[in-house]
Chain A
Amino acid sequence: RKEVEQDPGPFNVPEGATVAFNCTYSNSASQSFFWYRQDCRKEPKLLMSVYSSGNEDGRFTAQVDKSSKYISLFIRDSQPSDSATYLCVVGNSGYALNFGKGTSLLVTP
C-alpha cells in the first residue's frame, strides 16, 4: 500500500468552479502536510502547508483530518492559471517526505 494516495484525475472544470482534491496517507505518525503545485516541465512549488486547524490562503483552503488520515485542498473560483498538477506531500519524522502521484487539473475558460 502506498504511503500517500491521490486520485490522478484529470479534473477538467470550467472557469469559476470550486475544485476539491483529496489525499489519504497511511502512517498515523505523520506530522507535516503540504500541497505543492507543479506546472508542466517545471519544479514543484509549495502552494501551502496544511495545519491541524485548517488554513486558507486567498482562494485556497486546506484541511487535514488526522483521525481518518485524510487531507483536502479546495480551490474556489478556479482560474485557467490554476491548471497544473497538485501534489499531496506528507512528512513523518526526520527529513523524508512522501509524495502522492499528483492530481492533474485543467480549468477551461
Chain B
Amino acid sequence: DTEVTQTPKHLVMGMTNKKSLKCEQHMGHRAMYWYKQKAKKPPELMFVYSYEKLSINESVPSRFSPECPNSSLLNLHLHALQPEDSALYLCASSGQGNSPLHFGNGTRLTVT
C-alpha cells in the first residue's frame, strides 16, 4: 500500500475543462513533487515544493498550476490542456534532501 495517496486514479477531460489532481501524504515529509510520465519514458520532474514553498518549476507551461495548501497536501490545477498532455501524473514526497522519493499510484490523465 502506498503512503502517498492521489485522486482521482483516472481522469478524462476536454481541452476547455478545468480539473484538479490531488495528493496527500502523512509521513511528515517536507518536500512534495509533481512528475509527468509518458509511456516507456522515465518520470519527468515538473514541480518541487519544499516546506510549502515552490522551489523548483521545470519550465512547465502555465496551463499546469501547482498549489500546496499545507505540508500534507499538494494539488495540480489543470486548465486548457492539450492532447499531448495525456500522461501518468505522479505525486511524490521525500524527507530531507538526498532522501528517496515515495510515489503515489498516479493519476492517468487523458485529454480529448
**Are A95 and B56 in contact, CB atoms less than 8 angstroms apart?**
yes
* Residue with the highest number of chain B CB atoms closer than 10 Å, among A41, A44, A91, A94: A44
Cα-based distance from A99 to B98 in the complex (angstroms): 14
For the A-B complex, the count of residue pairs with Cβ-Cβ distances under 8 Å equals 54
B98 — nearest CB in chain A belongs to which residue?
A32
Which residues from chain B contact A99 at a C-beta distance below 8 Å? 42-43
Grouping DSSP codes into helix (H, G, I), strand (E, B) and loop, the A interface class, with mixed when no group exceeds half, is: loop
User: Within A18-38, which residues are at the interface with B (CB < 8 Å)?
Assistant: 31-32, 34
Residues of chain A within 8 A of B104, CB atoms compared: 43
CA distance A10 to B105 in the complex (A): 24
**Contact between A95 and B103, CB atoms less than 8 A apart:** no
Q: How far is the CA of A102 from the CA of B39 in the complex (A)?
A: 12
Taken together as a complex, chains A and B put the C-alpha atoms of A75 and B90 apart, in Å, by 27
Q: Is the CB of A44 within 8 A of B94?
A: no
Render A57-98 as a binary contact track against B, CB cut-off 8 A, 1 for contact: 000000000000000000000000000000101010111110
Give the shortest distance, in Å, between B43 (CB) and chain A (any CB): 6
User: Contact between A42 and B98 (Cβ–Cβ < 8 Å)?
Assistant: no
User: What mask results when residues 74 to 104 of chain B are scored 1 for a CB within 8 Å of chain A, else 0?
Assistant: 0000000000000010100010011111111
Q: For the side of the interface on B, what is the size category?
A: 20 to 34
Which residues 38-64 in B have Cβ within 8 Å of A in the complex?
Answer: 41-43, 45, 48, 50, 55-56
> Cβ of B102: which chain A residues have Cβ within 8 Å of it?
46
A108 at the interface (CB under 8 A from B): no
Q: Is B34 an interface residue (CB 8 A)?
A: no
Answer whether residue B66 sits at the interface, using C-beta atoms and an 8 A cutoff: no
Q: Tell me the nearest residue of chain A to B58, going by C-beta.
A: A96
Max chain A Cβ within 10 angstroms of own Cβ: one of B2, B31, B90, B100? B100
A95 contact set on B, CB distance < 8 A: 31, 33, 48, 50, 55-56, 94, 97
Nearest 5 CB-CB pairings of A with B: A99-B42, A32-B98, A43-B103, A46-B100, A95-B48
